[in-house]
A and B are shown apart, each in its own frame.
Chain A
């Protein structure tokens, strides 16, 4: 997100008393250019950050995802259990199945224990098992099979069982 109009106004108040008529601000997230004209200031914004697209479940998974919920509306309004991120232990290639063509370790909705293997991350030819880390249900699969997981990337989210 870039700066809000309020943020920019705070900057402008500093600039007003200065002789400067241009300000350029660049961060990994955005670039902001402020320019003084005869009648007032202008801004030009550019969002540098790429979109972080969550891979959608594949077709069969989607079919599962749209199974009608088995909760009544009143239950649905109750606080939901915590959702816990499963992060990659290392940067590398994420695999959802033990080998090509094999069924995935888990699917959306699979019940898992803390030591259930939910995927593999390959880093420099080394296969690292990824464990759920908590008992619950797979609520989201954030990366597609064979896609690259950056340092600390969230691979899945587990809806933790209620205590």
Chain B
């Protein structure tokens, strides 16, 4: 079928991003907006807006019955869930099917399979992907035995979700009991699922992921992304392809991701996350994200595809229309997330009204944003204001363009991480490429206090 009218069950920059593709494809958009977002830039750019519910996400963007009621009232053919919120929620996908609405994403069983991290781990093992030594822990005794077996330090993780919540690093047997309790409590609060599992902790690792795309039969990979610049498991900078990765490792990783997708007969866009152990030159499956990701533009930059269009085409029931051999990579792309945070004051959130918003334009520069003068950054949702993306023929040119672009951007009215990103992109470690996930912590510690200018 051909989709003509799509409900965007999301907000912010990704809502605007989805609209761009819909507009190009001649698809009408209806934005499901909470009360706080009824006058947002996304709402004013959508063809129509439908009220989703009160401002708190639990009453709007996370409310499955409210989203379905909005979709029905708006008489849409399909629903795009964006990222975050209900994007990987099997109940929403089920409810869409029951309401005769196409869910632009994987099938409910696929969402369920990867949403449960332990099940995803079992699928990875079945698909012959390397995983870290570890497994599920049902009691403190079981955890102690397993931790002793894999060796400290270990990392306790939530079965029900990611993003750093419910995640605890444990250095020695003495700390295990307390960390386990905290992780279980956090996991229960964040995901409504107290189950946790345990894996060996890799001290010097890089977060490298592979974009995959499937039509339910064929699955291709769209290359690697390096997302090792993180703060508390939140990504700050992403790039494609992952720099300084041995060619054999890259190819093995890409093949492993595609093979994992084929094992699931995956339909839609997904990301297979790996931890790359730099010392051992080995990689391990971490988890799979069954949605479009914040950092998708760097992949679009190097492979020339519109990933939202790919999602829509696959959701329409069409085959991919190209094979792995048709996927060509060109150059390098880097993305910086610009958040409404006062990074000098421990990244304190900075909601409010934006008074000035100037972004760079130029060759190889792309800015995805929902911010313009007068825009509100509501206190209810995440702090992402813009993504500044630079593409170049190689990493050096991409970095050059990114530095220049960041220097030309200005946001006033709320605090932003622009100046932090300028400093990070200009730091020798990042410029050299291939840093590990502890780089950002060290970067902050090493900066003299005098340089902390917001």
Tell me the smallest distance from the CB of A16 to a CB of chain B, in Å: 10
Query: Residues of B contacting A1 with CB < 8 Å?
Result: 19-20, 23, 45
A31 nearest CB across to chain B (Å): 9
Q: Mark A30-62, 1 if CB is under 8 A from B, else 0.
A: 000011010111111111011111101100001
**Contact A66 to B68, CB < 8 A, known contacts A40-B404, A41-B360, A71-B100:** yes
Question: Is A107 an interface position by the 8 A CB rule?
Answer: no
Return B42 CB to nearest CB of chain A, in Å: 9
Binds B, one of A75-83, A97-105, A114-122, A123-131: A75-83
Q: Is A134 an interface residue (CB 8 A)?
A: no
**Does B50 make an interface contact (CB < 8 A)?**
yes
Task: Give, as a whole number of angstroms, the nearest-CB distance from B53 to chain A.
Answer: 10
In chain B, positions 52-94 with a C-beta closer than 8 Å to chain A are 65, 68-70, 72-75, 77
Q: How many residues of A contact B (CB 8 A)?
A: 46
A62 with B73: in contact, given A50-B44, A68-B98, A76-B100 (CB under 8 Å)? yes
Do A5 and B361 have beta carbons less than 8 Å apart? yes
Q: What 1/0 mask marks residues of chain A from 60 to 99 whose CB sits below 8 Å from any chain B CB? A: 0010011011010101111110010000000000000000
- How many angstroms between the C-alpha atoms of A71 and B98 in the bound complex? 7
Question: Are A40 and B362 CB-contacts (below 8 A) given A49-B44, A51-B46, A79-B1?
Answer: yes
Give bound CA distance, A79 to B1, whole Å. 6
Q: Tell me whether A51 and B44 are in contact in the complex, defined as CB-CB below 8 angstroms, given that A42-B408, A43-B359, A71-B100 are known contacts.
A: yes
B324 to chain A, nearest CB (A): 27
Once the chains bind, are A66 and B49 in contact (CB under 8 Å)? Answer: no
* B353 interface residue per 8 A CB criterion: no
Whether the pair A43, B44 counts as a contact (CB closer than 8 A) is no
Which of B137-145, B288-296, B367-375, B414-422 lies at the interface with chain A? B367-375
Residues of A within 8 A of B338 (CB): none
Q: In the docked arrangement, what's the CA distance between A140 and B73, Å?
A: 6
Judging by beta carbons under 8 Å apart, are A42 and B69 in contact? no
A47-B41, A56-B51, A79-B1 are contacts. A9–B362 as well, Cβ < 8 Å?
Answer: yes
A12 within 8 A of partner (CB) = yes
A43 with B69: CB separation less than 8 A: no
Q: Which residues of A contact B38 (CB under 8 A)?
A: 51, 53
Contact B98 A69 (CB under 8 A): yes
Chain B: interface residue total (CB-CB under 8 A): 54
Inter-chain contact A40/B360, CB cutoff 8 Å: yes
Give the docked Cα–Cα distance between A62 and B68 (Å): 11
Chain A residue numbers with a CB within 8 Å of B65 are 66
B320 within 8 A of A: no
- Kindly count the residue-residue contacts between A and B in the assembled complex, taking CB atoms under 8 Å apart: 130
Residue of B nearest to A30 (CB): B45
Knowing A44-B372, A69-B99, A77-B102, the reply to whether A54 touches B48 (Cβ < 8 A) is: yes
* Residues of the B chain whose Cβ atoms lie less than 8 Å from the Cβ of A78: 1
The answer to whether B69 touches A62 (Cβ under 8 A) is yes
**Cβ-closest chain A residue relative to B16:** A1
User: Does chain B have a CB within 8 A of A139?
Assistant: yes
Docked complex Cα distance between A2 and B38 (Å): 19
Q: How far is the CA of A105 from the CA of B123 in the complex (A)?
A: 55
Q: How far apart sit A138 and B28, CA to CA, in the bound complex (Å)?
A: 19
Contacts of A65 on B, CB cut-off 8 Å? 69, 72-73
Residue A18, interface by CB 8 Å: no
Are A46 and B361 in touch, CB under 8 angstroms?
Answer: no
Interface contact A52-B47, CB-CB below 8 Å: yes
A-chain residues with CB within 8 Å of residue B73 when the two chains form the complex: 54, 56-57, 62, 65, 108, 140
When the two chains form their complex, are residues A42 and B358 in contact, meaning their CB atoms are under 8 A apart? yes
Residue B407 at the chain A interface, CB threshold 8 Å? yes
Are B363 and A9 interface neighbours, CB within 8 A?
yes
Q: Is A4 at the interface (CB under 8 A from chain B)? A: yes
Question: Separation in Å of the B406 CB from the closest CB of chain A?
Answer: 11
Closest to A140 in B: B75
- A1 → chain B closest CB, angstroms: 5
A4 touches B20 (CB 8 A): yes
| CB pair B98 A45 closer than 8 Å | no
Considering only CB atoms, which chain B residue lies closest to A47 in the complex?
B44
By a CB distance below 8 angstroms, the chain B residues around A5 are: 361, 365-367
CB neighbours of B97 from chain A (8 A): 73, 76-77
A67's closest neighbor in chain B, by CB?
Answer: B72
Q: Which residues of A contact B1 (CB under 8 A)?
A: 77-80
Instruction: Give the distance in Å from the alpha carbon of A62 to the alpha carbon of B449 in the complex.
Output: 56
Q: List residues of chain A with CB within 8 A of the CB of B45.
A: 1-2, 47, 49
Interface string of A130-163 (1 = CB under 8 A from B): 0000000001100000000000000001010000
Q: Does the CB pair A76–B372 fall under 8 Å?
A: no
Give the distance in Å from the alpha carbon of A10 to the alpha carbon of B452 in the complex: 38
Contact of A41 among B43, B46, B361, B373 (CB under 8 A): B361
Return the chain A residue nearest B100 by Cβ. A76
6 further A-B pairs in the complex, CB-CB below 8 A; given A46-B372, A54-B48? A40-B360, A41-B408, A43-B358, A62-B69, A76-B97, A77-B1
Q: 24 A-B residue contacts at CB 8 Å?
A: A8-B361, A34-B361, A35-B358, A37-B408, A40-B362, A41-B361, A42-B408, A44-B372, A47-B45, A47-B372, A51-B39, A51-B46, A52-B47, A53-B43, A54-B48, A54-B50, A66-B69, A73-B98, A77-B1, A80-B100, A139-B75, A140-B73, A140-B75, A159-B75
Q: 10 tightest A-B contacts by CB?
A: A76-B100, A51-B43, A140-B75, A73-B97, A139-B75, A47-B44, A79-B1, A43-B361, A53-B49, A54-B50
